[in-house]
Chains A and B, each alone.
Chain A
Amino acid sequence: MAPFISEKPRGIASPQNEYWIAIALTVLVTVVSWPIEPITGHAAVALFYLLLVVVAGLRLGRGAVLLVAISGGLLWDYLFNPPHFAFFPLTLQDTILLATFLAVGLAMGHLTSQLRLKEIMEGKRERRTAALYELVQQAGLAPDLDSGLSAALRLTETLFGVRAALLLRQPDDGLAEKSFLTSSFSLDAKERRAAQWAFSHCAPAGKFTETLPDGQAIHLPLQAHAEVMGVLSVLPSRDTVLDSAEKELLEAFAVLIGNILQKEQLLQSIKQAEMCVAAERVQLQRALLQSVSHELKTPLSAVQAGLEALRREIGGSQRSQAAVFESQQALRRLRRVINNLLDMTRIESGVVHANLDWCDVGELIQAATDLAADGIGENRIVIELDNNLPLVRVDQALLEQCICNLLLNASAHSTVGGKIEIRAQVTGQQLFLSVLDEGRGISEADLPRIFAAFQRGATATPGGTGLGLAIVEGFAQAHGGSVSAANRPSGGAEFTIKIPVETLRAEVLERLA
């Protein structure tokens, strides 16, 4: 693509055409003047030519204007000034007229060239602003740094008709050995040295500069305030000459790219600092939770072991056996409460993280029913699995806890001996785990806030903490999923956990193995 920076301003013809236009205009005025000269007199014709000089001065270059002035003067003298078809003799009046004519021509020519120069400068400035604006638009506001830098490189190449490469500053503050991915040429050892010089001295190097000018490429430091963020190297084609304005613009480009890089670096370091703080907070919370958990569970273990020892020791006495049994039941309940409180704290302080691994849903549900076994009393559990469920990637421990909590909840709201159903289904990339009971269902008033912590249904049996369902929601959300509650048309409640999952069909795996 042609570098548009050195194009001529619009509306101005090339020098050669200008002369043809000048001649054509002069001929035109001569032809028009010829029949009317007998009416107007020869002085008026001189004014026509003068008018032509002024008009030409507005549009044409200095040379063309002078051509119009001189040819006009000569033609007038030769054709119109009496005696016709002769230059001489001239009256004093005619001489003054001719001299004025030439003077105006010269003055117009000069004025025109001044104006023209100004117009060219103006145009260059305008294009420079446009180019920088373009760079900010394309590179500075790009969604990520890499595409921004690529855009900057492409723009540099298009505008200046060169090939461009970027060498970025590395985290160790040295200059990268390799040029940026989308650079369109790579630097040889000599050019690399020039780039290094530009980088460490924060000054341009290479062709058209004072340092190492025998190279092929120009190397400009990407300067941002007091820092150098890297080097922009451009490789002009063999016969291209960059004028000072273009060099200036290139330098401005380098500064702008440097600023874009610095902005990105600052953003990165802010992000990193924020992540550090967050990580530290999570670490602290983990440590705190662990120590609280230890402090709560150690005495619990002691009591449990003590009761167990007691039960083995006392043997026959029915009343003391019953007392120990009741204490053990109470202890189990306490253990659940403590576990629930700890889980809830974990969810609320954001330290719950789903560790995904492949899992067999059937196995998951079995393990969950084991967990819930001593809390669901006489209720009958029916498991309904889709045939051919694929493996899913989930945190099995978290989901076991979810199902366990849903089972305990279902049991608490069921009649003695009532049936509790567990269903599992995988549709597309979604895992659905449902627990259905035949109990009293959920009252309309409870439905909207059923998963809120410490909310207990109006019909809840004593012994719950109001945390079970909140934990289910927290763990489902840790998987990027959700849980919903509804009443079944046939009576009873239905809870469904819905989780986006990766799946793997057993058949696929067997073929691989």
Chain B
Amino acid sequence: MNEKATALVIDDEPQIRRLLRILLEQEQYRTLESDNGRQGLSEIALRRPDVVLLDLGLPDMDGMSVLERLRQWSRVPVLVLSVRDGAGDKVVALDTGADDFVTKPFESAELLARLRAIQRRSQAGAEEAVFAAGHLVIDFNSHTVNVKGSEIKLTATEYALLKILALHAGKVVTHKQLLREVWGPNAEEQSQYLRVYMMHLRKKIEISEGPDRLLRTESGIGYRLVIPPHKAPD
């Protein structure tokens, strides 16, 4: 990050707000707080934060309606904090315009990684020609994919899937979004296609089954291409 980014925390629990502030300030974010949806919306309008952390259970209005209103006039990246376990809420939030989510109680490292990913996504102006994550390198110009330095063949569908995941690297992409972008708007319910092509894609680009896999499943929600934390993209 070039200069200090501003993060707005919208959560009605003061303890969570205070601790998030500590965590975010350690990471060099300037931090704003808001304890309800209405105030949160006006803070966004006035102070223009770089990223928003939004709790879904707010006292005055549902987090979902905050998102809905916000998306009518702003594209600020939003990370949803959810205490609910089910996938349903998260999918709705993501489809309403949230960029990603973490489930409370969250691991700080995870939260910060997600924040970075959604900010990077919003800042990326022009698409970069080359994407790299761990052993995977994608050249968008030549449509080539390299795993550990050797080129692999992908079908058009597999490439399209991988490209979307790479463009949103670090961030969850919902099943619906993948289906819509690869197979078209009528395919949103055809999850079986997605499963099969993801299966093939995995076989081609993963080099291990262990925790350093690149393609992660958010069950009931979508997929995430993770950027390995310790190896900076070369």
A and B physically associate: yes
**Interfacial residues, chain A to chain B (CB-CB below 8 A):** 290, 293-294, 297-306, 308-309, 312-313, 335, 339, 342, 355, 357-360, 362-364, 366-367, 370, 373, 383, 391, 395-397, 400, 504, 506, 509-510, 513
28 contacts between A and B (CB under 8 A): A293-B85, A294-B83, A297-B105, A298-B104, A300-B104, A301-B16, A301-B83, A301-B105, A301-B106, A302-B13, A302-B15, A309-B23, A309-B26, A312-B108, A335-B105, A355-B87, A357-B220, A358-B195, A360-B199, A363-B199, A364-B219, A367-B216, A367-B217, A370-B216, A391-B195, A397-B86, A506-B199, A510-B196
Q: Inside 8 A of A506's CB, which chain B residues have their CB?
A: 196, 199
When A363-B198, A373-B211 are in contact, do A391 and B220 touch as well, CB less than 8 Å?
A: no
Residues from chain B with Cβ under 8 Å of A504 in the complex:
192
- Within the assembled complex, what's the spacing in Å between the Cα atoms of A362 and B206? 13
| A334 CB, nearest partner CB in chain B, Å | 10
Report whether A313 and B195 are in contact in the complex, using a CB–CB cutoff of 8 Å: no
Q: A305 — which chain B residues lie within 8 A by C-beta?
A: 16, 19-20, 22-23, 105-106, 108
Interface of B is mostly: helix
| Cα A290 to Cα B83 with chains together (Å) | 9
**Which A residues lie within 8 Å of B22 (CB)?**
305-306, 309
Closest CB-CB distance, B179 to chain A, in whole Å? 12
Contacts A294-B83, A297-B83 known; 5 new A-B pairs at CB < 8 A: A300-B105, A301-B105, A303-B105, A306-B22, A355-B220
A301 to B219, CA, bound (A): 22
**A335 surroundings in chain B (CB, below 8 A):** 105
Known: A294-B57, A366-B213, A509-B193. A396 touches B220 (CB 8 A): yes
Is there contact, CB below 8 Å, between A370 and B211?
yes
Cα of A151 to Cα of B18 in the assembled complex, Å: 73
Closest to B106 in A: A301
Q: Tell me whether B234 is interfacial, beta carbon within 8 Å.
A: no
B4 CB-CB contact with A under 8 Å? no
B209 at the interface (CB under 8 A from A): yes
Q: Which of B19, B87, B213 has a CB less than 8 Å from the CB of A306?
A: B19
**Chain A residues in 8 Å Cβ range of B109:** 308
User: Which residues of the partner chain B approach A366 to less than 8 Å between Cβ atoms?
Assistant: 209, 213, 217
- Bitwise, B6-38 to A at CB < 8 A (1) or not (0) is 000000010110011011001000000000000
Q: Which residues of A contact B16 (CB under 8 A)?
A: 298, 301-302, 305
B198: A residues at CB distance < 8 A = 360, 363
Q: How many A-B residue pairs have CB under 8 A?
A: 110
Which chain A residues border B193 with CB–CB below 8 Å? 509, 513
Contact of A360 among B86, B195, B213 (CB under 8 A): B195
Contacts of B116 in A (CB 8 A): none
| Max chain B C-beta neighbours (<10 A), residue from A305, A383, A396, A510 | A305
Asked if residues B26 and A313 are in contact (CB atoms below 8 Å), the reply is: yes
How does the 8 Å CB contact mask read for B100-133 relative to A, with 1 for contact and 0 for none? 0000111111000000000000000000000000
Chain A: minimal CB distance from B229 (Å): 15
- Expressed in whole angstroms, the Cα–Cα distance for A383 and B206 within the complex equals 16
Interface flag for B84 (CB, 8 Å): yes
Chain B 192-234: CB-based contact to A (< 8 A → 1; otherwise 0): 1101101100100000010101001101100000000000000
Beta-carbon contact of B106 and A362 below 8 Å: no
Q: How far is the CA of A360 from the CA of B215 in the complex (A)?
A: 13
Using known A-B contacts A294-B57, A298-B16, determine if residue A391 contacts B196 with beta carbons closer than 8 Å. Answer: yes
Task: Report yes or no: B104 in contact with A297, Cβ–Cβ below 8 A.
Answer: yes
Asked if B42 is at the interface (CB within 8 A of a chain A CB), the reply is: no
Per a CB cutoff under 8 Å, which of B20, B106, B192, B217 touches A363? B217
Across-interface contacts of B23 in A (CB, < 8 A):
305, 308-309
Q: How many angstroms between the C-alpha atoms of A362 and B198 in the bound complex?
A: 11
Residues of the A chain whose Cβ atoms lie less than 8 Å from the Cβ of B199? 360, 362-363, 506
Interchain CA distance A299-B18 in the complex, whole Å: 12
A397 and B220 within 8 A (CB): yes
List B contacts of A395 (CB < 8 A).
220
Tell me, in angstroms, the Cα distance from A305 to B104 when the chains sit together: 10
Residues of chain B within 8 A (CB-CB) of A298 are 13, 15-16, 83, 104
Assembly CA distance A174 to B193 (angstroms):
47
Q: How far is the CA of A173 from the CA of B192 in the complex (A)?
A: 45
Q: Which A residues lie within 8 Å of B209 (CB)?
A: 366, 383
Q: A367 touches which one: B57, B195, B219 (CB < 8 A)?
A: B219
User: Are B105 and A397 within 8 A (Cβ)?
Assistant: no
Interface set, chain B 35-86, CB cutoff 8 A to A: 57, 83-86
Q: How far is the CA of A370 from the CA of B217 in the complex (A)?
A: 10
B108 close to A309 (CB less than 8 A): yes
Residues in A with CB closer than 8 Å to B26 are 309, 312-313
How near does chain B come to A482, taking the closest CB pair, in angstroms?
A: 22
Residues on A with C-beta less than 8 A from B107 are 304, 308
Q: How far is the CA of A48 from the CA of B85 in the complex (A)?
A: 105
Residue numbers in B under 8 Å from A400 (CB-CB)? 219
Whole-angstrom distance between the Cβ of B160 and the nearest chain A Cβ? 13
- B144 on the A face (CB < 8 A): no
Name the residue on A nearest B215 (C-beta): A363
Q: Which residue of B lies closest to A286 (CB)?
A: B86
Across the A-B interface, give the 4 residue pairs with the lowest CB-CB distance, nearest first. A308-B108, A301-B105, A305-B19, A396-B219
Q: Which residues of A contact B213 (CB under 8 A)?
A: 366
Question: Which B residues are in CB contact (< 8 Å) with A373?
Answer: 211
B24 CB, nearest partner CB in chain A, Å: 10
A367: B residues at CB distance < 8 A? 216-217, 219
Shortest CB-to-CB span from A426 to chain B, Å, is 14
A294-B83, A366-B213 are known contacts. Are A397 and B219 too (CB-CB below 8 A)? Answer: yes
- Chain A residues lying within 8 Å of B13, measured Cβ to Cβ, are 298, 302
- Chain B residue numbers with a CB within 8 Å of A391 are 192, 195-196
CA gap between A214 and B157 in the complex, in Å:
71
What are the residues of chain B within 8 A of A364 when measuring CB–CB?
217, 219
B117 to chain A, nearest CB (A): 18
